[in-house]
Amino acid sequence: MDQIWTSVKTLLKEKVPGHSYRMWIEPIAFSDNENGAMVLSCPNLFSKKRISDNYGQMIEEAVSRAAGRAFKVRLIVASSQAAECKEIKQDRQMKLPHIDSPTNGGRLLRKDYTFDQFVVGKNSDFAYSAALSLAARNLGNQNSLYLHSKTGLGKSHLSQAVGHHIFKTFPTERVYYITAEDFMNEMTGSYRSSSIHRFKEKYRQNCDVLLLEDVHFLSGKSGTQEELSNTLESLMNANKKIIYSSNYLPSDIPKLNDKLKSRLCCGLISKIDSPDYKTRLRILKKTALSSGHNISEEVLQYLASELTDDVRQLKSGFIGVAAKASLLGSDVDLALARSVVKNIVTSRDGITLDSIKRLVCKYYNVSIADLTSPSRRQSIVRPRQVAMYLSRQYTDHSLQTIGKSFNRYHATTLYALKAVEKGVKEKGPFQKHVVFLSERLEKGKI
């Protein structure tokens, strides 16, 4: 039977993509022949579930073909004496209520941001595999992973899933989950309180796993970049694990020193794309199952076809439908779903770079020539930045294309986006301006 499994692995190697084979199939080992079923052992519970969901039928068919008769396959988790001792030791510990997992520093991990709760599709298969392998120590000498995508596609979920997995599998390890902004603020505060030595010791000597979010925030912040570079060097030299997340590739972040850029680029870099229809439908079904809501297949299919921007929008639509049905005491049908979706979906028909420019020019009383001119007057710069921001939000154009449309470099475009994002977060007149213009675009009043 062991020889049969060896031949099956050779066959699967031709059918399964290289990185997927190395990640999931290669670690599987023949364990036993039990009541006419081949028992195969997997490294851990996560890999067992992943293999069962995605490759179970393929493996069973390949085994039956190699054996010359129908054969069942049963997956188990490989055990060892050390693992059993660890389990016994953990069972003796007092169990705490099921709350968000604490880190040794920084922010709390969301309890639902685990690998089990992450719905994998073609858009995120490699990122998921890489994150799980790093958490399970299956990436060899590769100790860092850089996740990048647009907002709302699952970067934070995967990053925190690594933290959860390490807490469960290696409970003595010290995990720090923190944003780049929090890192900067903490560093600045330590200088003010003359405790910078404690700050450095915390991240360089007392951290085993660093989960660092939104590294693009450090654009132009030279002091923090230098400190972070030194911290990352210490962690890498000590063979520690690091997960970065950002909306941009390291090479696309402006005003980033070469030392830090080199640190960010030296690990594995993986992009998460927008989910396709099938993946969106699976996300909705999993959300319905976990939340206990009974929503028809017809409504779920409608939501999956209409809410296409990102996972956050998709779940927002699901929650909105369930909440409205509960408040009205009515069933969830297509009519109710349509009434919710129309308030969420952004109508992008007719929204172009030129139409955005015209709207902004009309609102700020400037000309299109002003927006594309080299002028640095504030009365011109602010409308230009807003137009760039809206172009990024309401079109699928790249930063390079948007920048070129305004006669600006890529770095200048990114700076404009950050400036407007910062202004939108601060409640005031400027926020109201951007909201007003966004509403005009969404309603087609251009």
Residue 23 and residue 138 in contact, taking contact as beta carbons nearer than 8 Å: yes
pLDDT at 395: 79
Q: Do 115 and 208 lie in a common domain?
A: yes
Q: Give the whole-angstrom CA distance, residue 302 versus residue 343.
A: 15
Tell me which H or E stretch contains 244: strand 241-246
Q: Do 34 and 59 lie in a common domain?
A: yes
Q: Do 365 and 424 lie in a common domain?
A: yes
pLDDT at 171: 86
Task: Give the SS3 label for residue 376.
Answer: coil
Q: Do 383 and 323 lie in a common domain?
A: no
Q: Is residue 254 part of a domain?
A: yes
Question: Which residues, in sequence order, are bridge partners of residue 407?
Answer: none
Q: Do 176 and 111 lie in a common domain?
A: yes
pLDDT at 366: 92
Task: Give the SS3 label for residue 221.
Answer: coil
Q: Is residue 140 part of a domain?
A: yes
144 phi/psi in degrees, rounded to 5:
-135, 150
CA angle 249, 252, 258 (to 5 degrees): 95
DSSP state for residue 30 in the 8-state scheme:
E
Is the confidence at residue 81, as pLDDT, over 80?
no
Is the confidence at residue 305, as pLDDT, over 50?
yes
Strands 37-42 and 144-148: unpaired
Model confidence over 91-113: pLDDT tens digits?
A: 433 333 444 555 666 678 888 89
Question: Containing domain of residue 289, as a range?
Answer: 277-341
Spatial strand order of the sheet with 29-34 comes to 29-34, 37-42, 72-77
Q: Do 26 and 48 lie in a common domain?
A: yes
Q: Is residue 96 part of a domain?
A: no
Q: Give the whole-angstrom CA distance, residue 5 versus residue 71.
A: 12
- 345 compared with 61, residue with greater pLDDT: 61
Is the confidence at residue 325, as pLDDT, over 90?
no
Number of domains in the chain: 4
Domain's final residue, options 319, 341, 363: 341
- CA-closest candidate to residue 303, choices 326, 277, 274: 277
Q: Is residue 398 part of a domain?
A: yes
Q: Is residue 89 part of a domain?
A: no
Q: Do 73 and 189 lie in a common domain?
A: no
Q: Which of 68-77, 309-318, 354-363 has the highest mean pLDDT?
A: 354-363
Domain's final residue, options 293, 308, 341: 341
Helix 353-364 to helix 429-442 angle, to the nearest 10 degrees?
Answer: 140
Q: CB pairs under 8 A, 24+ apart, for 320-324?
A: 320/344, 321/295, 322/291, 322/293, 322/295
Task: Give the SS3 label for residue 394.
Answer: helix
Q: Do 154 and 75 lie in a common domain?
A: no
Is the confidence at residue 427, as pLDDT, over 80?
no
Task: Give the SS3 label for residue 408.
Answer: coil
Is the confidence at residue 345, as pLDDT, over 80?
no
Domain's final residue, options 271, 290, 307: 271
As a whole number, mean pLDDT of residues 311-339 equals: 86
As a whole number, mean pLDDT of residues 300-318 equals: 87
Output the six-digit token pair for 88.
């016994």
Q: Give the whole-angstrom CA distance, residue 73 versus residue 68.
A: 14
Q: Is residue 98 part of a domain?
A: no
Model confidence over 19-29: pLDDT tens digits?
A: 677 778 888 88
Is the confidence at residue 14, as pLDDT, over 70?
yes
Q: Can you give the CATH number for the domain in which 194 is found? A: 3.40.50.300
- CA-closest candidate to residue 39, choices 67, 24, 60, 53: 60
Q: Do 165 and 244 lie in a common domain?
A: yes
Q: Do 283 and 253 lie in a common domain?
A: no
Is the confidence at residue 206, as pLDDT, over 50?
yes
Q: Is residue 93 part of a domain?
A: no
As a whole number, mean pLDDT of residues 123-151 equals: 86
Q: Can you give the CATH number for the domain in which 301 is found? A: 1.10.8.60
Q: Do 368 and 402 lie in a common domain?
A: yes
Residue 132 and residue 46 in contact, taking contact as beta carbons nearer than 8 Å: yes
Residue 57 identity (one-letter amino acid): Q
Is the confidence at residue 350, as pLDDT, over 70?
no
Residue 3 identity (one-letter amino acid): Q
- How many other CB atoms sit within 10 Å of the CB of residue 261? 15
Average pLDDT of the residues of the chain: 84
Question: Which residues, in sequence order, are bridge partners of residue 245?
Answer: 147
Task: Give the SS3 label for residue 124.
Answer: coil
Q: Do 111 and 229 lie in a common domain?
A: yes
303 phi/psi in degrees, rounded to 5:
-60, -40
Exposure string of 123-133, with b = 16+ CB inside 10 Å and e = fewer, is bbbbbbbbbbb
Q: Can you give the CATH number for the domain in which 70 is found? A: 3.30.300.180
Task: Give the SS3 label for residue 432.
Answer: helix
Is the confidence at residue 418, as pLDDT, over 80?
yes
Task: Give the SS3 label for residue 75.
Answer: strand
Q: Can you give the CATH number for the domain in which 372 is found? A: 1.10.1750.10
Q: Give the whole-angstrom CA distance, residue 382 versus residue 222.
A: 25
- CA-closest candidate to residue 151, choices 246, 72, 66: 246
As a whole number, mean pLDDT of residues 393-414 equals: 84
Residue 421 identity (one-letter amino acid): E
Strand residues in 99-214 grouped as ranges (E): 105-106, 144-148, 175-179, 209-213
Quickly list DSSP for 379-393: HHHHHHHHHHHHHHH
Q: Which of 33-37, 272-276, 291-295, 349-353 has the highest mean pLDDT?
A: 272-276
